[in-house]
Each structure stands twice: as structure tokens, then as C-alpha cells.
A and B are shown apart, each in its own frame.
Chain A
């Protein structure tokens, strides 16, 4: 009997100790990474156009394919700092007209061929000479036919790129997968026109296996020889995951269902599904801030909107807090205070601290007073104001604005529509597909419209706000000589601090001119299985970087 009691006590103590250990150890969060596992991801699409990035333009393609590539210069998505990548070092000439890259000597492509300066030259030749690449993003960023003067192999592991004019974007471009990611020249030869469709051979931590279309899947496996990760990553050597598959699922309900039933390990979902699933058993949420910007663009070619008071009235009528608290955003958006998100501008000081004072407060009374002052009055009592002595506008013209959106922007813009109707502005929210909307925007057939970019730095501001970019990219027909001069100045220097100051001044001027109105930017809402760890934002913050990712037990 006593022996039996002793056994029971020992068992109880043992169980208690085990329980305590289990409680202290907790779930896999914070545990050491383990190797293995194939990560299944449900995303909007798999590769959308071509894994040969010089033929591609879609940002999702770039994000997915980047997991199998390395760039000449590496950029830490978290801090924006540049690090050695496939180039051990780089040196910009004092006049800013050339950059000399000294390459790593220990890198091989996935097909076993060596990486060297001739391979870099072959990649640039491929961008410049492949018909399907002409005019696209890689071609434009490399500066073919424009700012690029040439590139010269100095020795087996050194190459120099020269430009016709100071190129402030050269380092950023060499860190961008469109230009800076290196593909195997032997694979270009081997696959010809099919390169990018049937094969993609890079140097990165994952090896391309197959791609079955954008609604299909793209499969990558671990590169077992990988040992040249940029230093900002959490480890060296091969990736932890054995591989990953991105399954393109266009329908948001199906993406949520796929993670809910466990068919995938992570999925990008709608905010409503995020709220519902983030605390579900075995799942967790990941709220990903997107770097690019894009506010409410205003068509300044419209005489109605050329009056600053009308633009100020629109800004006063929009309640950003209310938009973010609406069922569309579920408080998951990022309230904007200038064109730049925190991912571009940084957090010290935050965009709110730096630019908040230049934003107009939500004040419908002030909005209505401004409209009255500008000659917009509702004399017939139908709730919509009409022109009375407004310059360039026929008397009696209703204050009616056309807002061109894509289907996924409709709900949030209907909220803005409601807010503007409160002050007597009637907004028609019209939904168009991508190509139609783009055409109408470039033709100036709109009054207000969301105009997003997935830029990873300030430089895209030059395309969006410079008067020379009208009507392509500068869709609002905005032109301010001061802003033009500041934007030109930013591109004429390679000093990052000076560039930042130029862009700060541009952002302030754009806010004062109300060329566009900061509103709320949606964040990516991801649901992951609890055991998925270490997934990081990619360079553009539209998706994932999986090198440090791992799956717990």
C-alpha cells in the first residue's frame, strides 16, 4: 500500500514538473528555428507574368520571385539600409556618374555555373536587348537608351556602370530585383524565349521548381548550397524551410476558407476575415504595413478643383479616423498625414509628428464655409451645391465630382462619398477594371481618384509630382515650379540626408497645395498557422521574404 502511494506521489510530482516545464516552455513562439516543412501560401496570385523579371511588370511577381534571387546590393526592408549583396562592395564616383561593384567570388547559380562580372554584364545585356523587356520596369530602371552610358567588365569580379548624368537612384536600382537580381546567363541561352516561363535560375535561397499560371501555383525548393545571405538576415546557410508553394486564389472568400480548413499555412485575407480568424485556435494574425503611398489624387485640370478653397473643403470634410473605424477598415488601416507611409519616411519623427500640422482637421462647418466663400451654394435645397459666380464655371453647375476606383476600392470610397455629401458635394463613385481606369485617368476624365504606388523609396515622388510627368503618373496635372526644382535637386545628389530633406520640403508643399489628400492606407491582413515563424516583409511590403521563415512542430 505504502509502495503504491509512493509511486503515485512520484508520478504526480513527475507530471507536475512536466506540466511546469511545458508551461514555461510555452508554444513555439521564441523557440529556436527548426529545419524542414514546406510552407503553403494562399495569395492573390502566383507569378502573374514572367519569372524573368525584365519581362515582368507585376509587383507580386517581383515579390514572389525575389525569394529565389539575390541582388547586387541588398536592402534591409525593415530599416531601408543598404548592405553588400552579390557585390562585396560598391563605390560611387565623386561626380555621381558611375558605380564600381566588386563582386563575391564564392557564388554559383542554381544550375552550378559561376557568378562573376561577365554574368552581370550578360544580365544587363539581356535587359537591354530582349524584345519583351523593352520599355518595362527593368529597362527603365537600368536607364537603357536614357541615363545609362554603359557598363564595363574591369576584371573577373569587378564591373563599372556609368551614366550620362548623376543618378541618385543607382544604388536603389541595383538593390531592386527588377535590375539588381542576377539570373544565370547559361539559362538565358538554354531556354531562350521560354526563360521565365519554364525556368528561372538565380542564386537565391530558394530554387524555382515549377509555375502553373497566375491562378495556379509556383513551387520553390531550398537551395542547399546557399551560403551568401546579406548580413541583416537572422542566419546564414540554407533556408530553414524545405520549400514553399504560392497558390494564386483570386477569390477572397476562398483564400480565407483555405487557411481556415488548413489547406494552406498562411493566407492574405480581407479585414473582416482577419478579425474573425486572428484569434481562432491554431491561427494568428500578421498586420503588414505597406510601404508605397497613394492618397486621393485631385484632377487640377478641372476648373472646379483649381480653386484651393474647394480642395481645402474636401480635405476638411474627410474624417480619416471615421474611415479607419468603418467596417471596411476595422481600424486596421494606417492613417496618412502625408504622401509617405511610415515605411518610407521612417518613425523618428513619425509622419504624424513631421507633417500632421500641415493637414487640415476634420471640420465640416469650415468645409461648408469655404465652399460658400468660393461661390458654391445650395440655393435649390436639393443638398448639392451649385456655382454662383465661380470663375471658369457656368452658373448653376452642380458640384458633382467623378471618383474613379477599382472594385476593391469601392467600399472605402463610398464612405468618402457620404462624407462629401454632408457638405453638399455630390460624388459619383464609378468602378472600372484596371486598364479602363488607367486610360480614363491618363486622359484626365476624372475629378478625384485613388492613385497608389508600391514604391520602396522617395524617388517615385518624382514620377508622381513633377510637372514633366503629366499626364502619365502625374495624373492630377499638378505643376509647381518650386516642387519641380526640389524634385530635380533630390535626383542631382547622392547624399541620402540631403535627398530626404528635399523630399520633406516637397511633401509639405504638396500638402499646402492639396495636390492630393492624405486619407487612410489599408494594411495587408495575413492569417498564419501558429507554428509559422520568422516570415518577414519583402522589400516593397506587399508580401513575404521567407529566408528566415520556419515551421515549428
Chain B
């Protein structure tokens, strides 16, 4: 297992190098550059010296030279300086990441709690009224865009019922609504997946054997069925975690929250090359880490899986 983890970490290096090259090229392929944004955002009351600003930012250098400078800085642990914010990229990410992590952590808790509960409940009595209700709700949850649900939640729970504040210091209460909105789609997906996975497993011979041994249904589900039904759900959960980080972009905007998602959108719109590159690189590291973690968890859930 240790050798496998070491191998995975080793192959993460070319993966991340590929990410740096890809994102470096992609942001520069977009029309416009940081200077265009600076000019667009100014008052237009006085002509800015575009060439001087471009020179100052090193954007007058040939692309390969810029990439070499960027890579050598990254290898020294320096992600550069954000153009609009005039601040170190690492510092900005360090400042914003905790907000997103807190939101995503609560959202994933909701996904696990609600997704598993509804999935199991629906699988216990397939085609019952509550199975139909759960699956119908799940379809709605998957289909509704985050920004729309966010606005509906604000209207219902902040404005009409006044159960939750919209603004205020970071607290569990202020996190609940955005985390719920963020979790809704993944909850629906997990519930549907767990239901079908469980239904498939429940038809297996070993479940019949377990029942015939006189085991209580709760034990049959928890100890025998669920453990085997979990494997595909775990893969999906890993993917959903990545999706949740992406989903923060919309939710952070609608709920006027800080976070890496909001920062990423701004960085792209502002053509802030160092900031976009820094955020994508950090996110890539997070994704590689999540994938590795899920692979390790596999071996614990299913002892038949061995890495060597």
C-alpha cells in the first residue's frame, strides 16, 4: 500500500506540471489580457499607459519565457502576485480557502447524511409512496440550477420566514443555507445511486443466506448489503466532492460569501493570470489528493482490492 501511495504521489508530479502548462496556455488564449481589464474597469477619464502596465507585469515577454519564469517561481513555492489585488497569490488563497473548505465540509456532511438516509429509505421499500416521493424530489434536486435554488431559499428562509440571516459573521447558522443549496444536487445523485446499488445487492444470494440465518433486517442491511453497495457510491462521492468545490462558485456569489470559487471566477474575468494559475494549481492538488484518498478508502471497504 505504501509503495502504491508513493507511486501515485510520483505520477502526480507530471500531472501537476501538465496542469501548469495547460492553464498557463488556456488563460492566455482567452481574448483580452489583464491590461484590457484594468482599462475597462477604470473611469476612462484619463488615458492609462497600457504599454507601461504591460511591461511592468512582464506580459511583453515571449510566452515560453513567461512560462519558464512562472514555473521556476512555482518550484520555489511562489505562486506570484495577483494583478488586481496587488497581493501574493498564496496569501489570497490562504485567506479564501478556509471559507470554501468550511462550506464544502458542511455540504458534504449534508450529502452523506441526507443522501445515505434517503437512498436507504427508498431502497427498503421500492415502489412505495415514499420511494416515489424521494426519487421525484431527487429528480427535481438534480435538475434545478444552484443559483435558482439559492434565490428561492433566500426568499423563503431569509426574507419570508426569517429563519436565517443573509449576512453576518461566519457561523454554523450562516453556513446552513448555502451548504444545503450546495449539497442538494449531490444529495439527489447519491440517494439515487445508493438506492439502485442497494437494490442490486439485496437481490444477491448472500443476502438471502443472511436472512435465512435469521439475522435481523437492520443487521442484514448495515453489515452485509450496505458495505457492498457502497463501493460505486464512494467513487461517486469522490467525484461529487470535486463538484462541490466547483459549485461553490455559484453559491458563494448568490450568498455573498468569500471563498476560492468566487475568487476563481473573478480571477478569470479579470484575466488575472497569476491568480487563475495559482487557484487552478491548488485545486488540482486538492483533486489529486481526493482521488488518492478515495482509492485508499476502497481497500478498507472492499478487502479484495489490493494495490501493489
Contacts and interface: CB of A to CB of B under 8 A. Distances in A.
B43 A212 contact: no
Interface stretch (B47-55, B111-119, B218-226, B287-295): B47-55
B11 interface: no
A215 to B, nearest CB: 5
Contacts of B162: 261
Interface in B165-184: 165-168
A215 B257 contact: yes
B256 A460 contact: no
Q: Which 4 A-B pairs have the closest CB atoms?
A: A435-B32, A135-B49, A135-B52, A438-B40
A439 B92 CA distance: 27
Contact of A435 (B92, B155, B158, B270): B270
Contacts of B266: 214-215
B265 to A, nearest CB: 9
Interface of B: 30-34, 36-53, 56, 84-87, 92, 95-96, 151, 154-155, 158-159, 162, 165-168, 252-258, 262-263, 266, 269-271
Interface in A452-488: 452-456, 459-460, 463-464, 469, 472-473
User: Of B47, B51, B56, B158, which is in contact with the most chain A CB atoms at under 10 Å from its CB?
Assistant: B47
24 contacts: A57-B38, A58-B42, A135-B50, A135-B52, A136-B38, A136-B42, A140-B46, A140-B48, A141-B46, A215-B256, A215-B266, A247-B167, A247-B256, A260-B159, A433-B269, A434-B32, A435-B37, A435-B40, A436-B31, A438-B32, A454-B43, A455-B43, A463-B44, A463-B47
Interface in A402-449: 433-440, 442
Contacts of A392: none
Interface in A120-143: 131-132, 134-137, 139-141
Nearest to B91: A197
Nearest to B41: A58
Contact of B39 (A40, A216, A438): A438
B48 A136 contact: yes
Interface string A378-413: 000000000000000000000000000000000000
Contacts of A162: none
A196 interface: yes
A48 interface: yes
A145 B52 CA distance: 11
A248 interface: yes
Interface string A259-280: 0110110000000000000000
A358 to B, nearest CB: 23
Contact of A464 (B42, B44, B155): B44
Interface of A: 40, 42, 48-50, 52, 55, 57-59, 62, 131-132, 134-137, 139-141, 145, 193-194, 196-197, 212-216, 247-251, 253-255, 257-258, 260-261, 263-264, 292, 433-440, 442, 451-456, 459-460, 463-464, 469, 472-473, 540
B183 to A, nearest CB: 19
A325 to B, nearest CB: 27
A148 to B, nearest CB: 13
Nearest to B34: A435
Given A197-B85, A250-B256, 9 more contacts: A49-B84, A57-B39, A134-B53, A136-B48, A213-B263, A261-B162, A263-B166, A460-B43, A463-B47
A254 B254 contact: yes
A463 B45 contact: yes
A257 B85 contact: no
A263 B165 contact: yes
Contacts of B151: 253
A380 B153 CA distance: 52
Contacts of A451: 44
A215 B47 contact: no
Nearest to A133: B56
Contacts of B165: 261, 263
A87 B31 CA distance: 45
Contact of A456 (B45, B48, B95): B45
A439 B36 contact: yes
Contacts of A455: 43-45
A434 B40 contact: yes
A55 B86 contact: yes
B292 to A, nearest CB: 31
B87 A251 contact: no
Contacts of A260: 159
A197 B92 CA distance: 11
Contact of B42 (A59, A213, A215, A251): A59
B49 A134 contact: yes
B98 to A, nearest CB: 12
B140 to A, nearest CB: 21
Given A136-B38, A254-B154, A434 B269 contact: yes
Contacts of A433: 32, 269
A472 B166 contact: no
A469 B44 CA distance: 12
A131 B56 contact: yes
Contacts of A440: 31
A193 B92 CA distance: 14
Nearest to B96: A213
